[in-house]
Chain A
Amino acid sequence: MPSFKRHLSRFFIRMGLAIFTFLALGPVIWAVVTSLLPLTALTSRPPDLDPLNMTLENYRLVLDSSRGLFSGLINSFIIATFTSTVGLIIGSMAAYALARLKMPGSSLLLMMILATQMFPGIVIAIPLFLVMSRMQLVDTHFALIVVYLSFTLPIVIWILKGFFESVPMELERAAAVDGATPLQTFQHIVLPISLPPLFATGVFVFIEAWNEFFFAIILTRIHVKTAPIAIAEFSGQYQTLYGQMLASAVLASIPVVLLAILFRRFVLEGFVEGAIKA
């Protein structure tokens, strides 16, 4: 009887996981399939899913440099790289200070940092646009990097602060007793053990910046259109080029997926360590 119960509960767990996986992966699979079909196959009712019709034509078309996807990917890459690098540098220093130094008002500061996360982006969209346009920063990489930093930094600070707090103070004291200067302690002890959470948050910020759409569409015009904008532009007033749009989406997803796979170990370790390390 107990073994029957166990089998039953296992069955339900697996069912649940299967449904979740299907819900998560379904749209991705549909996007890949769609990107491989010509427009005519998609617009016919019902859609003609004959594998014999599959073609790489959509990919060839979107990779044509005049179509904007390629420059979108480069813009996205520049913006996401800068956002995650600068975010990590500033965020880790702020988090370390908040975790280690006893400063008056640090808890208030932390709450304020968290509070910035509570406003929906739309609230600041128009003021932000006005500020950026007065400063003549609209349609520059800098504008998007600053905006993305403003909403990823709080998350970076909170995640890394949690991690730094979990690092036993004694490690740094032991290093001091062993004769390490504060800089050597950071270089030989704190930095190496912080790599997993740093990578994890870095990847997280990169993906956030890479995928962002709302501020990108407000603050860009021609020169720094990011990949999500370039993808959206396949949807026109009279016609939506589904195949090309989804081919672009698939292409734009590749760097993010690669990043996640490459740093999978770090990402998992990093978040777990930040959360439960004793």
Chain B
Amino acid sequence: MATLELIEITKKFGNVIAVESVDLKVEEGEFVTLLGPSGCGKSTILNMIAGLEDVTSGDIQINGKKVNALGPFERDVAMVFQNYALYPHMTVEENIGFSLRLRKCPKNEMQSKVQKVAAMLELEKLLHRLPRELSGGQQQRVAIGRAVIREPSIFLFDEPFSNLDAALRIKTRGEIKELHQRLGVTSVFVTHDQEEALSLSDRIAVLRAGRLEQYGSPEEIYMRPATKYVARFIGTPQMDFFTGEFINKDGLLYRIGEAEISIPAITKLPDTAFDVGVRAEFVSLGGKGFGANVRLVQPVGPFTYVTVDWQGGSVTARVNGVSHLKPKEQINVEIDPEGLLFFDRATDLRKDIL
């Protein structure tokens, strides 16, 4: 168990800045996800933590000790790679036990350790198979087993689910979470899948073009995104944004084209221009509110996402269960002012003005 701290780390590849002065602290036993689109530097950060990539400047500290100059093994970290990187010529048993073999661990001790790990990951029956004889999910578990047997102080995961199909991905996600709950080892997980990040993490670090955009708990990231970028990146369907204006007409209103949303909580007209964002669950259909036309109806099982248009605007609503709305149908739209997020138009930063 360990704490991990990144202090102003920067990584340049030639003239390209891949990571720019990122600060990040991971507490003992915490599960932290680095989230961002491809090319945002998240895997580079992970490789730097692992010691597979040098930092250009800045410090990496494990348990308060600077480890910049140490190799991967001396940092006592274990890593699960995106393509698993199982040694193709070794059996499952040899793959899992490889790190012990390098350390000249006695044979019977090694065997009992491998057995224990295999039992934990339900690999007992596969110990004598080669990686190519395993399914994707099984290979994934071997890769995890190879990390677990080391009993490292930090686990690193580099997009470990990206080669699995959707159903297996969700199952494996649960398994990783359980494993973390059981072992309590400090973990850093890299993904571009916001749902994965939300469901696994204690804290999420959202990255954008090599910079840290926001670092917080899943609730914070989801409910109080720091910037428009974070708001757009997190949540399904994507948050809707409006470029409207505040007007004062029997209380404060926000006008989006021909639609007006009253915001009772605000009493004073703000002096800067704001864009407004709203998530689908704060939009309801068929009540009071303003008139709009249905454009798109997308059932996803427990919900249906209904996108409606009006003169000057468009929004997606989340309707529980099945919706019988048809495109072009007229419907009233109501937006809960509680769910509105206000972003400074000039800086894209969210402001609490409610």
> Is A177's CB under 8 angstroms from B89's CB?
no
Q: Residues of A with Cβ closer than 8 Å to B?
A: 168, 170-171, 173-180, 184, 188-189, 192-193
Chain B, 87-107, contact with A by CB distance < 8 Å: what is the 0/1 string? 111000000001100110000
Decide yes or no whether B82 CB sits under 8 A from chain A: yes
Would you give the shortest CB distance from B345 to chain A, in whole angstroms?
44
> Is B81's CB under 8 angstroms from A173's CB?
yes
> Is A177's CB under 8 angstroms from B83's CB?
no
> Is B146's CB under 8 angstroms from A178's CB?
yes
Q: From DSSP, what is the main secondary structure of chain B's interface residues?
A: loop
| Given A188-B98, A193-B88, A176 and B52 contact (CB-CB distance below 8 Å) | yes
8 Å CB contact of B85 from A173, A179, A184, A193:
A173
> Is B73's CB under 8 angstroms from A176's CB?
yes
- Residues of B in contact with A, size category: 20 to 34
Decide yes or no whether B150 CB sits under 8 A from chain A: yes
> Is A178's CB under 8 angstroms from B73's CB?
yes
| Given A176-B73, A177-B78, A170 and B98 contact (CB-CB distance below 8 Å) | no
| Given A171-B87, A184-B102, A192-B89, A177 and B82 contact (CB-CB distance below 8 Å) | no
Q: B71 contacts which chain A residues (CB < 8 A)?
A: 176
8 Å CB contact of A170 from B77, B83, B146:
B83
Decide yes or no whether B79 CB sits under 8 A from chain A: yes
8 Å CB contact of B79 from A168, A174, A184, A192:
A174
> Is B98's CB under 8 angstroms from A178's CB?
yes
Q: B77 contacts which chain A residues (CB < 8 A)?
A: 177
Q: A170 contacts which chain B residues (CB < 8 A)?
A: 81-83, 85
Decide yes or no whether B45 CB sits under 8 A from chain A: no
CA distance A176 to B47 in the complex (A): 12
8 Å CB contact of A178 from B88, B89, B99:
B99
| Chain B CB within 10 Å, residue with most, of A170, A171, A177, A193 | A177
Q: A192 contacts which chain B residues (CB < 8 A)?
A: 89
Q: Nearest A residue to B102 by beta-carbon distance? A: A179
CA distance A193 to B88 in the complex (A): 7
CA distance A179 to B74 in the complex (A): 8
19 example contacts (A-B, Cβ-Cβ < 8 A) are as follows A170-B81, A171-B88, A173-B72, A175-B87, A175-B98, A176-B71, A176-B73, A177-B50, A177-B79, A178-B73, A178-B102, A179-B73, A179-B99, A179-B103, A180-B98, A180-B102, A184-B102, A188-B98, A189-B87
Interface residues of B in 327-351 (CB under 8 A from A): none
Apart from A171-B87, A178-B99, what 14 extra A-B contacts exist at CB < 8 Å?
A168-B85, A173-B52, A173-B81, A174-B87, A176-B52, A176-B72, A176-B73, A177-B73, A178-B98, A179-B102, A179-B103, A180-B73, A180-B98, A193-B89
Chain B, 28-72, contact with A by CB distance < 8 Å: what is the 0/1 string? 000000000000000000000011100000000000000000011
Would you give the shortest CB distance from B317 to chain A, in whole angstroms?
44
CA distance A171 to B72 in the complex (A): 14
Q: A173 contacts which chain B residues (CB < 8 A)?
A: 50, 52, 72, 79, 81, 85
CA distance A205 to B72 in the complex (A): 39
Q: B52 contacts which chain A residues (CB < 8 A)?
A: 173, 176-177
CA distance A171 to B82 in the complex (A): 11
Q: Nearest B residue to A176 by beta-carbon distance? A: B72
Q: B72 contacts which chain A residues (CB < 8 A)?
A: 173, 176-177, 179
Q: Nearest B residue to A195 by beta-carbon distance? A: B89
Would you give the shortest CB distance from B181 to chain A, in whole angstroms?
24
Would you give the shortest CB distance from B104 to chain A, in whole angstroms?
11
Would you give the shortest CB distance from B240 to chain A, in whole angstroms?
40
CA distance A184 to B99 in the complex (A): 11
Q: Nearest B residue to A167 by beta-carbon distance? A: B88
| Chain B CB within 10 Å, residue with most, of A171, A174, A176, A192 | A174
> Is A174's CB under 8 angstroms from B73's CB?
no
8 Å CB contact of B83 from A168, A189, A193:
A168
Would you give the shortest CB distance from A197 to chain B, in whole angstroms?
13
Q: Nearest B residue to A184 by beta-carbon distance? A: B102
Would you give the shortest CB distance from A30 to chain B, in whole angstroms?
44
Would you give the shortest CB distance from B73 to chain A, in whole angstroms?
4
Q: Nearest A residue to B72 by beta-carbon distance? A: A177
Q: Nearest A residue to B89 by beta-carbon distance? A: A192
Q: Nearest B residue to A193 by beta-carbon distance? A: B89
Q: Nearest A residue to B98 by beta-carbon distance? A: A178
CA distance A170 to B88 in the complex (A): 12
Q: B50 contacts which chain A residues (CB < 8 A)?
A: 173, 177
> Is A174's CB under 8 angstroms from B85's CB?
yes
Q: A179 contacts which chain B residues (CB < 8 A)?
A: 72-73, 99, 102-103
Q: A180 contacts which chain B residues (CB < 8 A)?
A: 73, 98, 102
Q: A193 contacts which chain B residues (CB < 8 A)?
A: 87-89
CA distance A188 to B100 in the complex (A): 13
> Is A178's CB under 8 angstroms from B150's CB?
yes
Q: Nearest A residue to B152 by beta-carbon distance? A: A177
Q: A171 contacts which chain B residues (CB < 8 A)?
A: 85, 87-88
CA distance A192 to B85 in the complex (A): 15
Would you give the shortest CB distance from B148 to chain A, in whole angstroms?
12
Q: A184 contacts which chain B residues (CB < 8 A)?
A: 102
